[in-house]
Amino acid sequence: MDDIVIIGAGECGVRAAFTLRKLGFEGRIVLFGAETMVPYERPPLSKAKAPEHKPIAAREAFEEAQIDLRLGVTVRAIDTRAKTVTLEEGASHSYGKLLIATGARARLFPGMDDCLTLRTHEDAETIMRHVEPAATIGIVGGGFIGLELAATAVKAGADVTVIEAGPRILGRAVPEEIARLVHERHAAEGVTLLTGTGVETVRATGVTLSDGREFCFDKVIAGVGALPNTALAEDAGLDVENGIVVDGSFQASAKDVYAAGDCCRFPWRGTPVRLESWKAAQDQGTHVAEAMMGTLAPYEKVPWFWSDQYDLTLQVAGLFDPRFQTRSRGAGAAGDTHIVFQCDTAGKLVAAAGIGPGNTVAKDIKLFEKLIEKNAPLDPDALADPSHNLKTFLKAA
Ligand code: NAD
C-alpha cells in the first residue's frame, strides 16, 4: 500500500520518480507511460531535421533506481476512494500516493484533423519526412512550435509560410519588441509570415484564410497551442479548471493525489497559473517528490523557458503581465543581445526576455531570473541602462 504510482513518463513524472529515490523513498515506484519509447526529451523535436531520441535517463538507470517503468501502458481510470488506478487492459493497481503527470497534447480546432501536429517523437519523424528541399510547408500558428519548425524547415530548403491569427507572432509568450526581432529574422531567412490572419478551413494540403485567400501546400502543420491532459482527473472527480487544480505542494483535491507539470494549475506568487514548459516540468517533478516525502515548502521556482531558432536563442524568465510597462535594456555591451523587462508598480522585477547569441542571453537572463527570485524593489531606469552591470543589482537586492 506504500506504492507510489506515477501516471505519465514525461519530464515531470520521470524527474519525480528519480527524486523520490534520491530522497530515500524505499517503497515501490510504478511509472506508467503511454508511449513505447524510453522517456525522452521533447525540446529537440522541433529543432532539427533528424530529431534525436534523447532519453531523459537510460533504461538501465530506471532498473538501477528500481523504478518499475511500464511503457506502452495507458491508465484508463483513477478511483481516489479505493486508491487504485485501472489500466487499459483492465488490470488495476493500488497506490499509497498517486502523481498525475499526464502533460499536455496539441490543440486542434474543428476542421484541422487532417494536418500534422507535434508532440511526440513519432510526430516529429512524420513531420520531418515532409520537410524536403523545395517542399511547400504551411504552418498554422506563430507560437514556439510553429516558429521552431519554420526555422528547421527553411534551413532544410523548404518553402515555408507561417499563418498567425493574432496581430503578431509569439503573442502569448514575449513582448512585442522581442517578437519583432524574431519576425524580422524569419523574414530575412525567407519564411513568409502572415499575421492577423485567421484560418477558415485547413486541409492536409491547403488553407483557406478568413479573408478568402487560398493557399496550397505539400503539407500543413498546426501549432495552435496545447491542452492539458485532464480527462482522467475529471473522471475521478478531482477539481479541474484549465488544468488539475493543486496547492503549493502540488496536492490535488483528493487525499494522497498530486498533479504536476503541464497538466496542473498551481499557485505562483498567489496567482493560479498553468505552465507549458520543459523547465517547469522538471522543477515541479522535483518539488512534488519532496512534497510526497513530507516537505511542505512552497514552490517558488521562477518560470523560465527558451527557444532556439537559427543561431538565435530566446530566453524568458518570469511571466509578462499586460498590466505593467515593458522596458528595454537595449543592446548589451557587445551590441548583440536585446533584453526587455517589466517591473511592477513597487519596482519589483516581474519578467525579462532576451534574444541574441546563446551564451550571452543565458548569462544575462540567469541574472534577471535571480533578481526576480529576490523579489526586492529595483530602480527600473537604472536597470534599463545597459551600462549598469546586472550583478550590482543582485548585490544590492
Ligand atoms: P503557443 O500557444 O505557444 O502558440 C500558438 C500560436 O497559434 C499562438 O500564437 C496563437 O495566436 C496561434 N493560433 C491559435 N489559433 C490559431 C488559428 N486558428 N490560426 C492561426 N493561428 C492560431 O503553442 P504552440 O506553439 O502550438 O506550442 C505548443 C506547446 O509546445 C506549448 O506548450 C509550448 O510552450 C510548447 N513548446 C515550447 C517550446 C519552447 O519552450 N521552446 C518549443 C516548442 C513548443
- pLDDT tens-digit map of 267-295: 999 899 999 999 999 999 999 999 999 99
- Distance separating alpha carbons of residues 325 and 220, to the nearest angstrom: 37
Judged against a pLDDT cut of 70, whether residue 214 lies above it is answered with yes
**Helix or strand run (H / E) with residue 393:** helix 390-396
CB of 224 closer than 6 angstroms to any ligand 1 atom: yes
Judged against a pLDDT cut of 90, whether residue 160 lies above it is answered with yes
Residue 397 CB-half CA count within 13 A: 23
Range of weakest confidence among 100-109, 235-244, 376-385 = 376-385
Closest C-alpha among 257, 243, 275 to residue 99: 257
Can you give the pLDDT at residue 335? 55
Q: Which ligand 1 atom lies nearest to the CA of residue 112?
A: 18
Check: CB of residue 40 under 8 Å from CB of residue 313.
no
- Average pLDDT of every residue of the chain: 94
CB of 13 closer than 6 angstroms to any ligand 1 atom: no
CB of 145 closer than 6 angstroms to any ligand 1 atom: yes
CB of 277 closer than 6 angstroms to any ligand 1 atom: yes
Residue 309: pLDDT band with limits 50, 70, 90: very high
The per-residue pLDDT for range 41-94, each reduced to its tens digit, is: 999 999 999 988 999 999 999 999 999 999 999 999 999 999 999 999 899 999
Can you give the pLDDT at residue 396? 81
Residue 251 φ then ψ, to 5°: -85, 130
- How far is the centre of ligand 1, averaged over its atoms, from the C-alpha of 164 (Å)? 10
- How far is the centre of ligand 1, averaged over its atoms, from the C-alpha of 346 (Å)? 32
CB of 46 closer than 6 angstroms to any ligand 1 atom: yes
Judged against a pLDDT cut of 80, whether residue 142 lies above it is answered with yes
The per-residue pLDDT for range 12-31, each reduced to its tens digit, is: 999 999 999 999 999 999 99
Check: CB of residue 200 under 8 Å from CB of residue 119.
no
Judged against a pLDDT cut of 80, whether residue 332 lies above it is answered with no
Can you give the pLDDT at residue 149? 98
**Helix or strand run (H / E) with residue 136:** strand 136-140
Judged against a pLDDT cut of 90, whether residue 163 lies above it is answered with yes
How are beta strands 4-7 and 29-33 bridged, if at all?
parallel
- Distance separating alpha carbons of residues 300 and 365, to the nearest angstrom: 17
Residue closest by Cα to atom 2 of ligand 1 = 225
Is the overall model pTM greater than 0.90, yes or no?
yes
Can you give the pLDDT at residue 1? 46
CB of 225 closer than 6 angstroms to any ligand 1 atom: yes
CB of 199 closer than 6 angstroms to any ligand 1 atom: yes
CB of 280 closer than 6 angstroms to any ligand 1 atom: no
Q: What is the ipTM of this complex?
A: 0.94
C-alpha grid cell for residue 357? 547569441
Pocket test for ligand 1, best of 115, 145, 306 (most atoms within 8 A of CB): 145
CB of 163 closer than 6 angstroms to any ligand 1 atom: yes
Judged against a pLDDT cut of 70, whether residue 342 lies above it is answered with yes
Residue 358: pLDDT band with limits 50, 70, 90: confident
